[in-house]
Structure 1
Amino acid sequence: MKNIAALTILLLALTGCATTGSQSPQQAAVTAATLFNGQSSSLIWVPGSSNGISGAMASALIGSAGLDSPIVSGIHQAIAPASKTDVRVAISGTDSTFAAKATIAALNNTSSMLPKLQLAFIGSSADADEVRSAVEVKGGKFLYSAPNGS
């Protein structure tokens, strides 16, 4: 749990609390607490690129990078214990598609089933269906909210 908390703090620090539209990491944390009914959970804030071209390239390549990507590796480390112990994690970020692809890559690079995973995705509904499929294939429970619960 210390590693997950450190990862969350690190990701928040790296993004400088950047926002997407009206969502901030703090607002995503409130949304996550609501989705998990106040149970303890972790928020992974996935930074996105401020440059449209480099962001699109990063989004296209994140799946092939696999665990060599620090973002994918961080998500993987957070969800991997769910094969044996309860894990509640919310994932959001400045670029919904990039956050979704990183999450899917982490799930795809997990060889075991994750029956004790509860993963909340806070982002675009267009990205949520792919994340849902990847979570459910691993036996986990998927929760979803648009940014700010809208």
Structure 2
Amino acid sequence: MAAVRSFSRLLTRSSLNNIAKRGYADEMNFTFAAGNQVFYNGVSVRQVDVPSFSGAFGILPKHVPTLAVLKPGVVTVIENEGGSKKYFVSSGTVTINDDSSVQVLAEEACPVDNLDISAARDVLSKAQSQLSSATTDVARAEGQIAVEVGEALVKACE
């Protein structure tokens, strides 16, 4: 019973109002950018699927507010017209705000259609060499990160 009372104290009038406001909507305000390019800037989309270290997940309108770290992989954006676009991201963050707006900020990103499988395999090969020749903890960590990105690049191309 004490746990119920403690929980009920956490539910303030404003948090109850926010919960009550959440409902189904067909679209959400979406921003997706990287250091090299802005892909979407405050446009309305239906769904976004992102790779995260806590597991890949889909974002629909009225998603619960969330902050997540992107892992190397493919972000898929399903536009209102029903078409989808895929982008490779090396890393970054995903923010889902209380107003259901979504921001994906990537360290680096490019359309999957622009990737070259042979170049991706070359990146992976060099990263594996870097990892195998690493002699310090820092070099091993950097090599492991490079391998993860290389593996995700190759997978995105296939």
- Specify which structure has the bigger relative contact order, considering alpha-carbon pairs within 8 angstroms and separated by 6 or more residues: 1
> Shorter-chain TM-score: which interval?
under 0.3
Could you state the TM-score of these two structures normalised by the residue count of structure 2?
0.26
